[in-house]
Structure 1
Amino acid sequence: MPAAYDTIGINYANLRQPDPRIGAAIGAALGDAATVLNVGAGTGSYEPTHRTVTALEPSIAMIRQRPAGAAPVIRGFAEDLPFADKAFDAVMAVLTVHHWSDQPKGLAELRRVSRGPTVILTFDPTHRGFWLTDYLPELITIDVAQMPPMSAYAAALGPVRITPVPIPHDCADGFLAAYWRRPTAYLDPRIRAAISCFWAIESLEAKLERLARDLETGAWGEKYGHLLELESCDLGYRLVVGRG
């Protein structure tokens, strides 16, 4: 979705800050890799600062938002990585696989250029339980259509380790489920602008009117108020680690 991100990504850097707890999980999975390729790098979230990182990103809008001092970036696509076989100690890809036009080819490319781990943060499309889908069932349809099944990773990468990534209640990275304990955030068009799936739902404002009413009347709290006692929640995000 590179062209779409030239629109979606306009204010991405401000709304999609890396969460340190998620970053720690990614860093641990990278092991002792000294050179890392970040595919679908966006504005540079989760790029480790103590390693030599090369970033690859298709969207000009995202590239322009990379901060001063960020890793050098190449404009390109996961499906056709411009690097030699086993060029990097590790490869990482964070919440990007669902935007690729040819996911099996992109995953094969990640494996090709890594001589060590391939670390992917993604979402399991079979996961259910996020309350927002009660208001926007289209989110399930979108996930099933664009998210690879978890079996696809082993098929492309060989043996993989897949672990849940619990989302903290105060997650700094504003992806879809980040605001699971802050429901009013989904009524803010500025926040929604940096979440790609919202751009695919027609008449979104009208469909969110029921959420607004339920928050005002207390109906949301009656049904989901128990979530406010949780520090983190498994919402289907998964860390996939292939070993080359």
Structure 2
Amino acid sequence: MARYDEIGVGYALGRRTDPRWLAPVLDALAGARSVVDVGSGTGSYEPPSRRVVAVEPSAEMIRQRPAGAAPVVRAVAEALPFGSSAFDAALAVLTVHHWPDWRRGLTELRRVSRRQVVLAYDTRLHNDFWLVREYVPEVAALERSRPSAHDIAEFLGASSVAELPVPWDFTDGVFPAYWRRPAAYLDPAVRRSCSALAQTPPDAVARGMARLRADLASGRWQENHADLLTLPEWDAGFRLIVS
């Protein structure tokens, strides 16, 4: 996907595998000897000790895949270059919302695999995140244009949908990863790793960050969100869908 050739620079530094999400992904793939990882990015949640083939359209993301990562094919989800039922399972981690034709992409996942494991999120809950609600409301329009986890689960006829809460010290810098560490969003490198912010007009993000910086300095953010500061994890809407 061409946009990640632009916004994906340095992505691997901010988006590091967190074992607390890797474990349920591996459980969902149990018994699958062959896996196609569609929209693989840098391969953060690819299962070890399996035959894995990655699919990724962005040259920039492919460049950041670590040594020893699964072989990668440059292609798009909507036109997978594999035969029917070529894999035991298809994995798609936080990628479906980027696909221009997500229904066609999911249809391709079903065609090439006997099981589909998709990590997606509830766009409504993302839009209720304090960073969107109070500082960068422009993100909401982008999120409303994306398929939500329940849309994906319904289309796939999912057999299970599991909540994946975000720990307060999460290492994978997804958009709401810093829900209890708000100062992190003032770092441009952190924002570049969040597609929702990277794809929002820079002037809107700059205005929001100026307000956040002021509220952190005054203590207003801490006062308004004192309830978050003692939580070990928070539901930002991430869902692991299996069909």
The two structures share one fold, judged by TM-score above 0.5: yes
2:86 aligns with 87
Q: How does 1:127-206 map to 2 (within 5 A)?
A: 127=125, 129-133=128-132, 134-148=134-148, 150-155=150-155, 157-202=156-201, 203=203, 204-206=205-207
Distance 1:63 1:175 in 2: 19
Cα distance in 1 for partners of 2:58, 2:190 equals: 20
Task: State the alpha-carbon separation in 1 of the partners of residues 151 and 174 from structure 2.
Answer: 23
Cα displacement (A) at 1:56:
0.3
Percent of aligned pairs with the same amino acid: 48
**Contact in 2 for aligned 1:166/1:234 (Cα 8 Å):** yes
The equivalences for 1:116-127 within 5 A come to 117-127=115-125
TM-score, normalised relative to structure 2: 0.95
SS of the residue 1:58 aligns to? coil
Deviation of the 1:47 alpha carbon: 0.5
Using a 3 Å threshold, how does the CA distance of structure 1 residues 232 and 189 change in structure 2: closer, same or farther?
A: same
Tell me the alpha carbon deviations over residues 110-167 of structure 1, each in whole angstroms, 9 at most, x when there is no partner.
Answer: 011112x211111111225421122111222211112346134322x22431121100
The 2-side partners of 1:73 and 1:119 are apart by 19
Cα distance in structure 1, aligned partners of 2:197 and 2:79 = 28
Q: Partners of 2:84 and 2:208 in 1: how far apart?
A: 48
Alignment partner, residue 29 of structure 2: 30
Deviates more, 1:211-220 or 1:192-201: 192-201
Residue correspondence of structure 1 range 36-115 to structure 2 within 5 A:
36-115=35-114
Quick one: distance in 2 between partners of 1:147 and 1:215? 33
Please, which moves more after superposition, 66-75 or 189-198? 189-198
RMSD: 1.2
**How many residues end up aligned between the 2 structures?**
239
**How far apart are the structure 1 equivalents of 2:183 and 2:26?**
31
User: In structure 2, the residue corresponding to 1:37 is in which secondary structure?
Assistant: strand
Equivalents in 1 of 2:22, 2:200: separation in Å? 30
The aligned amino acid for 1:222 is: E
Partners of 1:103 and 1:148 within 8 A in 2: no
Consecutive unaligned residues in structure 2, runs of 5 or more: none
Bigger shift: residues 121-130 or 206-215:
121-130
Amino acid at match of 2:241: V
| Partner residue, 1:209 | 210
Aligned to 1:4: 3
